[in-house]
Amino acid sequence: MHYHTIIVGAGPAGLFAAQALGQHRKSVLVLERNKRAGRKLLVSGAGQCNFTHDGPIEHFLECYHNQAKFIKKALFSFTNKDTMRFFESLDVPYQVFPNQKVFPKSMKSEDVLGALLKACQKGNVQIEYGQTVGQISIYDGVYTIETEEGKRYFSDHVVIATGGKSYAPLGSDGKGYEIAQSLGHTIITPRPALTDVRLRENPYKPISGVSVQNAELTLWRQNKKLTQYVGDLLFTHKGISGPVIINTSRWMEVGDQLTINYLYPKTYEEVRKEFSESLAQRGKEEVITFLKPLKLPKTLLQVLCQQIGLDEHTSCAQVNKKMREDLVNILTRCPFTIHQLGGYHIAMVTAGGVHLKEVNPTTMESRKQKGLYFIGEVLDIDGITGGYNIQAAFSTAYLCAQHLIKC
Ligand SMILES: Cc1cc2nc3c(=O)[nH]c(=O)nc-3n(C[C@H](O)[C@H](O)[C@H](O)COP(=O)(O)OP(=O)(O)OC[C@H]3O[C@@H](n4cnc5c(N)ncnc54)[C@H](O)[C@@H]3O)c2cc1C
């Protein structure tokens, strides 16, 4: 059979595009290598699926690093509110958390996947499981799609929705990049993103599980400041994690330096001035008591004192200038060296992918091959945590489908 459109990959991007085309009576086939659809979607948000973020859509533009220009049209054409309405219309009510993350009310990712599959079924979308697309060729305007299992399919249009490279056992292993390359596309070197930082010797191991709200991270490479970000920090048994680390990990390399200001929004200078004025006046008060109003976890303060060789029970009057400087430094410029970054097996998304210059941002069509499209994570798009990646999958899929409906 010859299809109007063949979609490679039954993740959120592929399924969303498929159901939209199905509603418009296009003959659509989805080829999925796994025995079932949306395996990554099922584990997303710890199985609860944080499928978008609330708030003004304009704020989304700050959440995709330097890819905002490309994704703007898609996000504004199918917004976070549209996503919420879409699932509501499919009997999946949602709830918005105080941090504006949006989840299905049931807190079950199966409900999100179930709704997408139901919408596909309604549009008579055909899904073939257990078919790993290996090669795609075009001759005389007709695409031939060959699978590693030995099957061949034909279509007028092909949508690559194969995802990134992280969590490969769930289905996305980077095969989509190879296919894109074979069809003339450039791939921005993929790397793990939304991952944690491992330390060589982890002095913070005893406080793993402790977190700090609104810490300010500065990333340095060879003494050059690369980026700065504010968010919650979590100490782990292997190093440091939490949104502030995870969301900046795409910029990090092994050997880079991080400095953390636990007292943000106060600056080093402000804390230095404050301590030089107040510490000596506290007389017999112990340092640990003096630090209490900072509202940092006591166990963290204890480890920080140990790190600079300051006995937490030292009286404030005994803290000399050097010790005071060390204390201010460790509280506002606490240094870390990246020994290792969490690999693809724990990275939630992949940075890099199909070069955005080679894809039309208003249709998701390849600028190299007519009739070829890229949607979702296979593109060189990665968002921060909070529902931005699944929203990007839906928004890019929507634009692509709107264009294909007219073809
Ligand atoms: C642990 C974890 C938690 C996450 N939590 C969130 C979250 O809460 N919120 C959020 O927004 N994002 C989250 N993400 C990211 C989000 O899940 C992805 O960005 C999103 O699934 C990407 O959608 P996609 O459709 O582009 O790709 P995928 O979901 O990866 O789907 C691609 C599909 O293509 C199939 N495929 C690949 N190659 C082939 C081939 N050659 N032939 C046939 N089929 C193929 C795969 O099997 C897969 O089913 C999380 C990711 C992980 C790993």
Q: Report the atom number in ligand 1 closest to the C-alpha of 377.
A: 26
If asked whether residues 158 and 90 sit together in one domain, one would say: yes
If asked whether residues 73 and 206 sit together in one domain, one would say: no
Q: Report the atom number in ligand 1 closest to the C-alpha of 38.
A: 49
Q: What local confidence, expressed as pLDDT, does residue 183 receive?
A: 97
Which range marks the domain in which residue 322 is found? 197-341
We report the CATH number of the domain holding residue 373 as 3.50.50.60
Probe residue for ligand 1, chosen from 52, 388, 390 as the CB with the greatest number of ligand atoms within 8 Å: 390
Q: What local confidence, expressed as pLDDT, does residue 1 receive?
A: 83
If asked whether residues 227 and 214 sit together in one domain, one would say: yes
- 215, 216, 222, 225 alpha-carbon torsion, rounded to 10°: 170
170 alpha carbon – ligand 1 mean position (Å): 8
If asked whether residues 292 and 389 sit together in one domain, one would say: no
Q: What separation in angstroms does the CA of 44 have from each of 47, 63, 244?
A: 5, 18, 19
Last residue of one domain, picked from the residues 314, 341, 368: 341
Q: In what order do the strands lie in the sheet with 224-235?
A: 334-337, 257-261, 211-221, 224-235, 239-241, 197-198, 340-341
Alpha carbon distance 43, 140 (integer Å) = 41
Please tell me the total count of domains within the chain. Answer: 2
Q: Report the atom number in ligand 1 closest to the C-alpha of 45.
A: 8
Average pLDDT per consecutive 10 residues, the chain (407 residues; last block may be shorter): 96 98 95 98 97 96 94 98 98 97 98 98 97 97 97 98 96 96 97 95 94 98 96 96 96 96 97 92 92 96 96 94 97 97 94 98 98 98 97 98 96
Is the CB of residue 71 less than 8 Å from the CB of residue 392? yes
Predicted TM-score of the model (pTM): 0.93
If asked whether residues 220 and 116 sit together in one domain, one would say: no
Last residue of one domain, picked from the residues 326, 341, 356: 341
Identify the residues whose C-beta falls under 6 Å from ligand 1.
8-14, 31-34, 39-41, 43-45, 50, 132-133, 161-163, 166-167, 171-172, 175-176, 348-349, 376-377, 387-390, 393
If asked whether residues 217 and 182 sit together in one domain, one would say: no
Probe residue for ligand 1, chosen from 389, 396, 400 as the CB with the greatest number of ligand atoms within 8 Å: 389
Last residue of one domain, picked from the residues 299, 319, 341: 341
If asked whether residues 20 and 90 sit together in one domain, one would say: yes
321 alpha carbon – ligand 1 mean position (Å): 53
**Which SS3 state, helix, strand or coil, does residue 318 take?**
helix
If asked whether residues 389 and 256 sit together in one domain, one would say: no
pLDDT in tens, 274-317: 999 998 888 889 999 999 999 999 999 999 999 999 999 999 99
If asked whether residues 91 and 218 sit together in one domain, one would say: no
If asked whether residues 181 and 35 sit together in one domain, one would say: yes
6 alpha carbon – ligand 1 mean position (Å): 18
Alpha carbon distance 20, 30 (integer Å) = 13
If asked whether residues 349 and 336 sit together in one domain, one would say: no
If asked whether residues 132 and 79 sit together in one domain, one would say: yes
197 alpha carbon – ligand 1 mean position (Å): 22
Q: What local confidence, expressed as pLDDT, does residue 281 receive?
A: 86
DSSP string computed for 44-89: HHHHT---EE-S-GGGGGGGSGGGHHHHHHHHHHS-HHHHHHHHHH
* Residue owning the nearest CA to atom 5 of ligand 1: 44
155 alpha carbon – ligand 1 mean position (Å): 24
Nearest to 189 by CA among 67, 65, 350, 345: 350
Side-chain half-sphere exposure of 19, counting CA atoms within 13 A:
21
